[in-house]
Amino acid sequence: MRRFLERHLPPGWNIKRELLLGGLFSISLVLIFSWFVFGVRYNDALGNIYTYKYETALSCTRVYVPGTVMSPFARLVSGSFFMFWVFAFTQIAAAWSMYRSFSAESKSVYLMRRLPKRWELPKRCIPVPLMMLLCGFAVCMLQLLVFRAVYYHNVPAAALPPQLPLRLVDLFIYNIFG
């Protein structure tokens, strides 16, 4: 993996900094934001289908209110992955920064374009941000799967809304573009 990164980053770039700041930190911000948005909406919607019966001052029982319906899953996750756009923009900025490093430092863009391998400059600028973008997409899809499992595990069957089954990719695309 280290050799792959050395071959696909501009010379002199710090690999650990690129992976930690460019990838892990950014993806973790996306995950934290989406968990927060989903958690607030999910907790609010779950509180609408239950009532609490207090036995004593310190103990209560959660009781399902018959006839109430939980909010649809698509509504609860809408807007959760807004930060994915920010992450995608940072990866585009990282690719641009790698390209600019050839003209700003001693590495010459002119020299890179004259090499016999015509695609050497794009090969040094695009693969790592693209790889991080694909990893971020995969992590968001896994998180969407976890959200769906939490939703269907904790909502009683009588409270599930009648909804069309959405594939996770459709739901993610709807979430980003809708």
pLDDT tens, residue by residue, 55-90: 877 888 888 899 899 988 888 888 888 888 888 898
Condensed to tens digits (0 to 9), the pLDDT of residues 119-177 reads: 777 777 788 888 888 888 888 888 988 998 899 898 888 888 886 566 666 666 666 65
CA distance 54 to 119: 69
Q: Name the phi and psi angles at 115, rounded to 5.
A: -65, 150
For residues 10 and 98, the answer to whether their CB atoms sit within 8 Å is: yes
Handedness of CA 64, 68, 73, 79 (dihedral sign): negative
Q: How many domains are there within the chain?
A: 1
Please say whether the beta carbons of 159 and 70 come within 8 A: yes
Range of the structural domain that residue 27 is part of: 2-177
Q: Which two tokens stand for residue 144?
A: 């969407």
pLDDT band at 32 (very low <50, low <70, confident <90, very high): very high
pTM of the model: 0.77
Q: What is the pLDDT of residue 39?
A: 93
